[in-house]
Each structure stands twice: as C-alpha cells, then as structure tokens.
Amino acid sequence: MADQHVVVALGPVDADTVVPVLGEGVAFVTDPTPDDLAVAEGAIVRADRHVDADLLAWMPRLRVIARTGVGVDLVDVAAASARGIPVVVTPNAGSRAVAEGVFAMALHLTKRLNPLTELVRDGGWAERSTIPVGDLDGATMGIVGYGRIGRRVGELAAAFGMRTLAHDPFTPPPAEVACADLGELAESSDVLTLHAPLTDATRHLADEHLLARVKPGSILINCGRGGLLDLDATLAALETGRLSGVGLDVFDPEPALYHPLFDHPNVVLTPHLMGMTRRAMTLTFVDAARGVADVLAGRPPAAVADPDHNLRKATA
C-alpha cells in the first residue's frame, strides 16, 4: 500500500460500493488496525462512531473525514478543522428516504392502521365505526426546519393535497409557506414534523409550552434529532388527547432508553432507520467515497460540515 492512499472504514461500510468510486489509487480497509489508522489519509465514518481528538491523534496523516449522513454530533469538527481536515457530509443521499418515512408514520397514525389491524385480527369487524380514520388530503403539514428534508416533505405534502406551513429557526422559508411564529405553526398544523438541526437553541424545541399550543388531535413526528423533543411533555400531550399520535425515528440518547411514551398505543417507533433504506445507503456510501476521492485528488468536496472549509482552501 506504499504507493496508494489508504482510506479506512470506521463502522460497517460496503466496500463493493465505495471501492469503484475511490478509484485504483486507493486501498480501502474495512476493519482497520492501529497500523492502518497511522497511515490513513481518509476515513469513511458511520453515524454512530465517535471521531474525537484522541482518535484524530492516532491518524497523523488524515486528510479527510467523510460522514455517512449530515449529523456530526459525534465528530469533533473543530478539532478536525484545526488540522485542516474537512468533514465531508452527504446531505442529499437520504433526504428523500427520510421524507418518505415521515409520510409512512403520518399515514400509519392518521389511518389508524394499528388499531384497525387488531380489530380485524380479533374479530371486531362490527366495531369498525368506533375507530375514527383521518385524512391527509385537506390537512395542514407543519414543518419545523426547512432544509433539504423539510422541503421534500413539503413536496410530498402537496402531492397528498395538503397545505404546507414551515418554520425554520435559522433560515426563513419562502414567503408562500413561511410561518414566523413557531407557536402559530403548532396551532395550525394537523401534522407537525421536526427537521431542525440540534443546537443549544433547539434542544427540547417541542416542550410543554409548545405542545400546549398544538392543534387538538394533531400528530407529531420526529425524524430529525431526538433532542428536539421533550418525551415527558409529549406523553402528557398524548394522555390528555392534545396529540392523537406520535411517530419517532430518532432518540436522545441512541440506542434509545426506555420511556413510558413507548408503551402508548398511538405511538409508532423506528430505530433511526428512515434514512437508511437500501437505495439511500448506496447513495450515501457513493457520496461519502466521492468526497474522499475529491479531497485526495485536490478537488473541493461538494458538502462539508465546516462551511468555511472550501472558502479557506480557495483563498489559501
């Protein structure tokens, strides 16, 4: 490997997908040893793997980190940037899959699939009129965080005949969908879905105060970051009927720790997999490998966690 760039996997990465993208001049190591880390110039990192200053110290030749996804909660971006190492992210790969996950949950909860399945299974056909089934057509989708995923949710909402309102704590959405006040958005939404990044300002964005303002009978979905949502307040809103259903794909911490909310019959849970469909995973591996290949070839990567990295490189 002396005449090749060494790129390591931190976490399970599909070698058959990334090797052709990395190219012939790269040796890809799926299960690196300390010796491999010592010579690695690139790393493709799965979402659940920590990349901190201690790990970076084991990798003195590192030139690029590619994170499969967009969240960098477990990556010390500041430490990497201090060494001039870009942290590549793959924002486009899973956006459509996550948006589809939002609608999977919204439909499951709106159409009451769980209680209706139990009714048929248990021979309760005569009681079917006791379970009210809702509609997305004509309802309002409230989107908190109007980035790539939020915008895709809005596109799908339009296809379902829904009205869209959007609030973003950092970048105002277009005027035709913008709702500047988060509380007003909650009051107007039949389905409220969270896609804001997790920061100190957005932690427990959906707390007891916001949930007290949600439209009675609305559905709350979180496929963004677990820390956006206060689970105690969410359970209370379900128990009072303020919320009629909750869908969660993300948790804080992960793996999820048990919470009584999980036992509520109007809750659907998935283990942070909505952005990890077969197609989305292939795309995110390709994008991560392409980002590594770009940096090793001296080209600016398409998307990085540190927004000033490419600018600094261009002006260096």
Catalytic residues: 225, 254, 272
Q: Are 87 and 305 in contact (CB under 8 A)?
A: yes
| Cβ-contact 165, 139 below 8 angstroms | no
Angle between helices 278-296 and 95-110 (to 10 degrees): 160
Closest among 57, 272, 26 to 44, alpha carbons compared: 26
Instruction: Measure the CA angle with vertex 142, ends 139 and 144; round to 5°.
Output: 165
CB count within 10 Å of CB 251 equals 20
Give the C-alpha separation, 283 to 288, whole Å.
9
DSSP one-letter code for 257: P
- DSSP state string for 154-198: HHHHHHTT-EEEEE-SSSPPPTTTB-S-HHHHHHH-SEEEE-PPP
**Angle, CA 285 vertex, CA 283 and CA 287 arms, to 5°:** 65
Q: What is the DSSP string of 9-49?
A: EES---HHHHHHHH-TTEEEESS--HHHHHH-SEEEE-TT-
Count Cα neighbours of 313 within 13 Å in the Cβ-side half-sphere. 17
Measure Cα distances from 17 to 21, 46, 223, 240 in Å.
7, 15, 26, 49
Neighbouring-strand partners of residue 66: 44, 88
Q: Cβ(244)–Cβ(109) under 8 Å?
A: yes
